[in-house]
Structure 1
Amino acid sequence: MSTAIPPLDLAWLLMETPGGTTHVGALMLFQKPPRRRTLVSEVVADYRSRRPRPPFTYVPELLGAGMPHFRDVQTWDPHYHVQHLSLPAGSSYDDLLHLVADLHEPMLDRNRPLWRCWIIDGVPGRRFAIYTKTHHSIIDGVSGLKRLYDGLSLSPDDAIPAPAFALPGPPPSSTAPPPALRRLSDAVHGVLTQVGAVNQISRGAVRKALSAALGAHVEGSLPFVAGRAPTNAPLQQARGFATLSLPLEEMHRIAHHHGATLNDVAAAVIDHGLHAYLRETDQAYAHELIAMCPVSLRGDGDITVGTKVSAMFVRLGQPEATMTDRLHQVAHSVATAKKELGALSTDAAMTYAVALVALAGAGASTHLDRVGRPACNLVISNVPGSNDTRYLNGAALTGIFPVSALAAAIGLNMTLSSYCGHMDFGFVANSAAIGDVPALAEHTRQAYGQLQHAASRAVQNTV
């Protein structure tokens, strides 16, 4: 059995290099209950006994007869795909972060199903962790995180549920192929739709690029307008990883106080923290950074295979702005870009994403990205989370931190997701650009502290 690879998912496969990998992942932390010494080994044995289900049985076939497709394989190696590790006695949480960074570095084997997971014991504080990685061509952040949650229980008393890789996939849309005339009609409609979408996008993109080249201040979504920041150093295989958790309700209150959104607050503190980190490491960047912010195109209940996403390219705050001013600048930029993207049809938004990924991939493969303008300086993404406590074999999930992809000369990705009253950030960086990712996370925490202080003073002044 084979499945055609959609254009955007094919782009993730074609643009991948050893330094620019396109798999995504997550680090889940669990708190062990008392007197459960065999808890972790029970999870390992159970996971290895499960049979993967599509798309976790897919192997890509890009060359040979026919169009690129996924081949559905019926065999798998449970000891390869589900690995059991343990940190040495006396290890720290930073040791876990270094391990996850090392595991995240290499490409997935294209001759096997495109996923792996590691169950890691010995995490300080009577905890264990699960780190997973899956190729972006078979899953995106929204559908991937939903599967991880679906593979956990809402009760500490339940046994071990089927993990993400063994959950049923979406039902097939049709059991019989459409008639030849219908296939021809659909193909023609698809081509006309893509041509219309490209026409809808291209005029504005060309205008912005020319205006930026002439030094004008342009607004809206701004791909390939960014200057070359330290985060755009050529990608190497080495990765750095760090985590951060911030209080969710307080972030909402601060956002509401400033007429902003939760995403605006997250982007502003990341931006402020990154500028502070670059100044501290003698890499100060004297311009506004531009962040790519992925936007999910999935409707409620959509669990189909592959990637359904578009993107906004948002101008962030001025380098020396105060934390409050930066939040207002970011909120304005996000609102402008969101309005522009919202004017596109769904087909145009998907085509926009395919075209941008293809251009960025072409620039990386030809090294033109080292002399031209990069697509952006960093990626900031918010993936929907859960308000309900989840469990695995009686162990409570205490945090879930995205571990995202780096590609196309974009050497910094911060993806966040909410869980049980806190916002969990996962920082992934090209070590050639950001040598101390935990320090960057700490600067981001300090930026949030400045925003907290400013909000508190504003409340006191109104009393």
Structure 2
Amino acid sequence: MVEKRRYLSLADNGFLITETEDSPKHIAGLLIFEKPKDADPDVVENLYKKWVTVDTVYPPYNLKLNASNPLTPYWTEDEDFKASNHLEFFTMPEGSTREALYKKVSDLHEPLTDQSIPLWRCYLIDGIGKDRFALYFRIHHCMMDGISGGKITEQSLATNVKDLDRPPFWAMEDNLYNRKSSRAKPKLLGRLINAATTNAKTAYGLSRISTQLCLEAVGLTTNAISLPFTSSKSALTGPVNNQRAFTTASLPMARVNHLQKIARNTLNHIALTCLDGALHRYLEHIGRPLEEPLTITMPVSLRREDAKVGGNQIGLVATKLAPQTDDPIIRLREIGVSLQNIRNQIDTSPASSIQAFSLVTNGVSQLVESASASQFVPPLSHTIVSNVPGPKKTLYVEGARLLEWYPVSTLGPGHRLNVTMFSYDGQLHFGLIAASAYLPDLNVLGDYIYDAFEELEAVVQSPDMGASLLAEKRKPKAVA
């Protein structure tokens, strides 16, 4: 029987090439559930015992990596798949806090994924309160991006509390990964024409972006996509070890949506305004303040609506946030302009050129990190921030209601922090993962995000647009 091979794209393979023991490249989700009423005390362990016997599996969960040639790795189907190789159940010690759960997630997120079996792991975690349990699921980034992961996970959960007969996610034959694209496959001539057209568009797009960046480098223009490798060094940038810290923050979507309407801005504008203010305050908290605008790398989806789910179809572009200010209105305005400009620039550039630009800039960043030359080369940006749209409806597993859904991402070359936002069932959830040896007290940053939101909300909704609030804040503090 001829072995069926599915070769990885260059973008997918990039997450394998850049992976090290200090910087694993898997992404994950932390899902927190409410146990069904009158549930058996061992309901979570029983769920594990039920799932661990299910060895029926469908792609992508049965795909095993063959990277004998690292330049042309490919997937093959695992003929000896065992659910027990991928599942684990444990109970947190009695009296464990939410912080203890986050510490456990940090520990689970640190080691490399075993490449001798399909590249995913699932942990069922009991003991986080009397009526709560968690599911932590991680998968290697070379298999899919966060948008694909969110969509496939959503499909595996039930929308009805009484739906108790769904198979576990790896045993769902009709998952989104295996659905055929609605586009007809072109014939040979069509494929040749498409390839030539794509190459021409990529070359045009890259030359256009390069020209704009060259003009910016000599001060003749300012672009939405920031000039790479011009950010200042900070506590957020530099080499890392394999120790991680994880924490979260959440904002109520009803209040976020109301604020959007009043301020006439998007969710991204509101969220990044809060994050920008919180990051500056956090850097002051750890004694490493930054007096210039933060530069963030943002993953942007390049996937067409009718494209197949799976793999990585994202571009990575850097943009500056707001100049240092204590006025949330100014911060919101500056960030709104930056994001609108970058959206326009991306929409007018071929997707292939954005992806090619991303591969080049992140490849250079990885070479700098691998050569331990970060002390000589400015960082690509200060941090990575992404926003993944999630389901608005309530979801369930075996009658247990999903209450919270937090993303747990990976660190990019030269970055010590990744912030990923995910909207679910009336909440905007932030998942923050960081190199704990360099960024202490990460939970404080989560608190600062909510504080920044409340401040922005108060300023926008006040009759004088926050003038009196800011005046009070700026009063010199009395010396005791």
Tell me the TM-score normalised to structure 1 length.
Answer: 0.91
Cα distance, 1:458–1:355 mapped onto 2, change above 3 Å: farther
Aligned with residue 428 of structure 2, among 423, 426, 443: 423
Counterpart of 1:25 in structure 2 is: 28
Shift of 1:78: 2.0
CA contact (8 A) 2:92 2:128 kept: yes
Counterpart of 1:206 in structure 2 is: 214
Cα distance, 1:238–1:152 mapped onto 2, change above 3 Å: same
Shift of 1:375: 1.4
Counterpart of 1:110 in structure 2 is: 115
What whole-Å deviation, never above 9, does each CA across 1:284-313 have from its counterpart, x for those lacking one?
Answer: 111111011211122335443201111332
CA contact (8 A) 1:265 1:327 kept: yes
Shift of 1:159: 0.9
Which has the larger displacement, 398-407 or 161-170? 161-170
Counterpart of 1:9 in structure 2 is: 12
Secondary structure, counterpart of 2:232 in structure 1: coil
CA contact (8 A) 1:200 1:348 kept: no
Tell me which amino acid in the other structure corresponds to 1:6: S
CA contact (8 A) 2:459 2:465 kept: no
2-structure distance, mates of 1:232, 1:27 = 25
Secondary structure, counterpart of 1:368 in structure 2: coil
Cα distance, 1:89–1:57 mapped onto 2, change above 3 Å: same
2-structure distance, mates of 1:140, 1:251 = 26
Counterpart of 2:161 in structure 1 is: 156
The size of the alignment, in residue pairs, is: 457
Query: Which structure 2 residues correspond to residues 78-227 of structure 1 after superposition, within 5 A?
Result: 78-167=83-172, 168=175, 169-171=177-179, 191-211=199-219, 218-222=222-226, 223-227=228-232
Shift of 1:447: 0.9
Aligned with residue 379 of structure 2, among 354, 369, 374: 374
Cα distance, 1:201–1:57 mapped onto 2, change above 3 Å: farther
CA contact (8 A) 1:8 1:353 kept: no
Aligned with residue 317 of structure 2, among 284, 291, 312: 312
Tell me the TM-score normalised to structure 2 length.
Answer: 0.88
2-structure distance, mates of 1:206, 1:170 = 43
Tell me which amino acid in the other structure corresponds to 1:153: A
Counterpart of 1:297 in structure 2 is: 302
Counterpart of 2:38 in structure 1 is: 35
Counterpart of 2:471 in structure 1 is: none
Tell me which amino acid in the other structure corresponds to 1:286: E
1-structure distance, mates of 2:297, 2:463 = 31
Counterpart of 1:286 in structure 2 is: 291
Secondary structure, counterpart of 1:95 in structure 2: helix
Shift of 1:205: 3.0
Tell me which amino acid in the other structure corresponds to 2:65: P
Q: Is 1:365 aligned to residue 402 of structure 2? A: no
2-structure distance, mates of 1:80, 1:102 = 19
Cα distance, 1:442–1:85 mapped onto 2, change above 3 Å: same
Counterpart of 2:475 in structure 1 is: none
Cα distance, 1:64–1:341 mapped onto 2, change above 3 Å: closer
CA contact (8 A) 1:378 1:411 kept: yes
Shift of 1:460: 9.0
Cα distance, 1:20–1:458 mapped onto 2, change above 3 Å: farther
Which has the larger displacement, 233-242 or 189-198? 189-198
Secondary structure, counterpart of 1:71 in structure 2: strand
Counterpart of 1:61 in structure 2 is: 66
2-structure distance, mates of 1:220, 1:312 = 9
Q: Percent identity among equivalent residues?
A: 26
2-structure distance, mates of 1:98, 1:289 = 28
Cα distance, 1:282–1:45 mapped onto 2, change above 3 Å: same
CA contact (8 A) 1:225 1:374 kept: yes
Cα distance, 1:396–1:171 mapped onto 2, change above 3 Å: closer
CA contact (8 A) 2:105 2:246 kept: yes
- For structure 1, list consecutive stretches of 5 or more residues without a partner in the other structure: none
2-structure distance, mates of 1:303, 1:84 = 32
